[in-house]
């Protein structure tokens, strides 16, 4: 599996189909912001609104409350994510990373890191 640094440095993209986003790295997700929805419950329950499923070479994120995730997200706003990369100490705030996912044409998900000083979540 690729590291988040590899993905960002080499501009490796993810993909999306319907309500699913596939990311080419593994992480511990802390919060996901879709428009005005702030999601922080990633339990296995379907009541959380999101299911995260780690595979051998990628991570699936299923947005259960959206039929098509690209229609729910503004083309220029993106989906914001707060995470700690897998195998990093999640309790060390220095390991928390802020990303934005832009859903582009042809099912491409552009992955960018936000400046640590940018506040997008309360």
Residue-wise pLDDT for 17-66, tens only, equals 999 999 999 999 999 999 888 888 887 766 678 999 999 999 999 998 88
Please give the mean pLDDT across all residues of the chain: 89
Distance CA 89, CA 64 (A): 29
The more confident residue out of 122 and 64 is 64
Q: What are phi and psi of 54, to 5 degrees?
A: -85, 130
Structural domain harbouring 9: 4-113
Distance CA 34, CA 29 (A): 14
Evaluate whether residue 118 is within a structural domain. Answer: no
Evaluate whether residue 29 is within a structural domain. Answer: yes
> How much of the chain exceeds pLDDT 90, in percent?
66
Distance CA 113, CA 3 (A): 13
Evaluate whether residue 17 is within a structural domain. Answer: yes
Evaluate whether residue 121 is within a structural domain. Answer: no
- Looking at the structure of the chain, the number of domains it has is 1
- For residue 108, give every residue at least 6 positions away whose Cβ sits within 8 Å of its Cβ, in sequence order, or none: 13, 14, 15
């Amino acid at each position: 599996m690729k590291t988040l640094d590899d993905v960002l440095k080499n501009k490796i993209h993810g993909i999306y189909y319907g309500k699913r986003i596939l990311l080419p790295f593994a992480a511990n997700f802390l919060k996901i912001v879709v428009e005005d929805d702030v999601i922080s419950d990633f339990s296995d329950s379907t009541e959380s609104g999101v299911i995260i499923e780690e595979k051998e070479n990628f991570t699936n994120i299923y947005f259960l409350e959206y039929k098509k995730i690209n229609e729910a997200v503004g083309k220029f706003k993106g989906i914001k994510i707060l995470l700690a990369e897998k195998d990093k100490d999640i309790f060390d705030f220095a390991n928390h990373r802020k990303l934005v996912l832009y859903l582009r044409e042809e099912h491409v998900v552009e992955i960018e890191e936000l400046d640590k000083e940018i506040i997008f979540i309360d």
